[in-house]
């Protein structure tokens, strides 16, 4: 089974990119409140960690597609042999026929069209640039032998999410996706915010079946409260219409943006220690920049984990702690 990886990435420190964002800024966008904040878009070289983690823990991946806005990522930390797997795809390639919408600064819009990457394998794993792998994986961690995608996440009553004060923008995107294929009175499956498995032909079919909704979803330059999350739509369709069984095993962990930005040192240490658990294979640190500002030295320590010389030693030694006292 051939499996690719797709990463969405942007270097927001690039002067040309800054100029484009400034020219197309939209203070009226009603998506996440931080969409226009520079910190949301800063580049902490997360993509290098993401790719290096694949080299260390998923060397079986056939090809890595980096989807970006006319930019070139720094992949110097990757071995020359693994570098041959990497290809850069620009937004105008997947937005062909929709070029009037560009430039787009909205991951929800970009994710809607990832299946249009020319040459993309029929099975692929989608990574935000702040996703990474923490242990050696194999194809069966993402797709069963019959090609069924492994779905990671949790179940929750749709009515619990819609009660007053419970519906965050992100949950809203997930619920709108689920509502396209199921009633929200039933339980809703929420995909975990880590690397997700996709089938290209399923996305192509969903695009045809929900073309109006897809074309509306991809048309927003910045996030809009009416948009939906493609991972949630894909998972809901697979579960409701094709009988896929979600994986309830907790082999993933996330340090949320809120924890990174304002969590106590005790809470941050607790989340980071969980990433070191032997059963955790997939991870996400939602705002490396915030941790880097709050706790100098953390980023360098984190990067070291993914270097060729220390990765295996780090995970093998139980005595090597992961605790920050800055």
Q: What is the pLDDT of residues 64-79, one digit of tens each?
A: 999 999 999 988 889 9
CATH (one of 3.90.550, 3.40.1000, 3.30.70, 2.60.40) for 3-150+194-227: 3.90.550
Average pLDDT, the chain: 86
Q: Give me the pLDDT at residue 94, please.
A: 98
Higher pLDDT, 25 or 78: 78
Question: For the chain, what are the domain ranges?
Answer: 3-150+194-227, 252-316
pLDDT above 80 for 203: yes
Q: Which of 12-16, 22-26, 144-148 has the highest mean pLDDT?
A: 144-148
Q: What are phi and psi of 160, to 5 degrees?
A: -65, -35
User: Tens digits of per-residue pLDDT, 232-243?
Assistant: 999 999 999 988
- Give the torsion sign (CA, 142, 234, 131, 2): positive
pLDDT digits over 101-118, tens only?
A: 999 999 999 999 999 999
Q: What is the pTM of this model?
A: 0.90
pLDDT tens sequence across 280-323: 999 999 888 888 888 776 666 666 666 654 555 444 443 334 44
**2-11, 201-210, 282-291, 307-316: which has the minimum mean pLDDT?**
307-316
**Measured between alpha carbons, how far is 279 from 64 in angstroms, rounded to an integer?**
25
Q: Which residues is 123 bridged to in the sheet? A: 3, 199
Report pLDDT digits (tens) over 77-96: 899 999 999 999 999 999 99
Strand order through the sheet with 131-133: 131-133, 282-285, 252-255
Provide the angle, in degrees to the nearest 10, between the axes of the packed helices 230-242 and 200-209.
90
Distance of CA 217 to the CA centre of its chain: 18
**What is the rounded CA–CA span in Å between residue 261 and residue 291?**
7
Determine the Cα–Cα distance for residues 85 and 304; give it in Å rounded to an integer. 23
Please tell me the predicted confidence (pLDDT) of residue 301: 66
């Amino acid at each position: 089974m051939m499996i690719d990886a797709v990463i969405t990435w942007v270097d927001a420190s690039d002067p040309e990119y800054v100029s484009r964002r400034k020219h197309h800024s939209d203070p009226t966008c009603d998506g996440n409140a931080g969409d226009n904040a520079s910190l949301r878009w800063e580049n902490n070289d997360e993509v290098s960690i993401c790719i290096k983690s694949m080299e260390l823990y998923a060397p079986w991946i056939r090809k890595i597609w980096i989807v970006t806005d006319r930019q070139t990522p720094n992949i110097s930390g990757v071995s020359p042999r693994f570098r041959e797997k990497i290809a850069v795809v620009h937004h105008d390639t997947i937005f062909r026929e929709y070029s009037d919408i560009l430039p787009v600064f909205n991951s929800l819009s970009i994710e809607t069209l990832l299946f249009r990457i020319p040459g993309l394998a029929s099975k692929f794993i989608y990574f935000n640039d702040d996703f990474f792998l923490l242990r050696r994986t194999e194809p069966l961690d993402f797709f069963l032998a019959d090609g069924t995608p492994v779905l990671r996440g949790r179940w929750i009553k749709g009515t619990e999410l819609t009660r007053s004060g419970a519906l965050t923008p992100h949950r809203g995107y997930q619920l709108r996706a689920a509502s396209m294929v199921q009633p929200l009175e039933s339980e809703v499956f929420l995909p975990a915010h880590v690397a997700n498995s996709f089938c290209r032909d399923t996305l192509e079919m969903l695009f045809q079946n929900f073309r109006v909704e897809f074309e509306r979803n991809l048309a927003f330059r910045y996030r809009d409260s009416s948009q939906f999350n493609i991972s949630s739509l894909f998972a809901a369709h697979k579960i409701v219409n094709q009988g896929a069984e979600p994986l309830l095993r907790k082999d993933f962990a996330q340090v949320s943006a809120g924890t990174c930005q304002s969590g106590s040192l005790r809470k941050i240490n607790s989340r980071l220690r969980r990433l070191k658990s032997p059963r955790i294979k997939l991870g996400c640190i939602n705002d490396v920049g915030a941790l880097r500002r709050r706790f100098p030295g953390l980023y360098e320590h984190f990067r070291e984990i993914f270097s060729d010389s220390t990765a295996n030693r780090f995970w093998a030694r139980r005595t090597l702690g992961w605790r920050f006292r800055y």
